Amino acid sequence: MSIKTKRDLQASQIRRQAHLARERNGRIPFPPEYKEALLSNSKSVTLRVDEEMGVYQEGLIYEATSYEDDPWGIFVLVLGVHPMQVDDLTGWGIPDEDIERTRTPSGRVELIKFHILQR
């Protein structure tokens, strides 16, 4: 199989998975200021707390949206879901202000590692 054929097949699979993500309402919301970072592929982790914990699964594709549910046409493949204590986030290169913003009484957080899929 040629490289071009493999790329076409991969692109087809991504389009099919993106369609399934839309059908199943598989969405992952982000703050509006993160849209540009997602578009430039400079963001690869997100933090989830409270009712957002336990929602996202490794290996699934989700459509990135705003918290107002506006789709951005960006799809992310979840590479890993890591439940941890907020204080453990420093080892992941998370900025201190983000760590402080995610503090909850339980001290629990999920770090979700993802990959932006080509559109």
State the CATH class of domain 3-116: alpha beta
Q: How far is CA 88 from the centre of its chain?
A: 19
**For 52-93, what is each residue's pLDDT tens digit?**
999 999 999 999 999 998 999 999 999 999 999 998 888 877
**For 29-52, what is each residue's pLDDT tens digit?**
999 999 999 999 998 999 999 889
Residue labelled with tokens 């590692």: 113
Closest CA to 30 of 51, 41, 16, 46: 46
Residue 94: CB partners within 8 Å, gap ≥ 6?
45, 47, 111
pTM for the predicted model, two decimal places: 0.76
Domains of the chain, by residue range, sit at 3-116
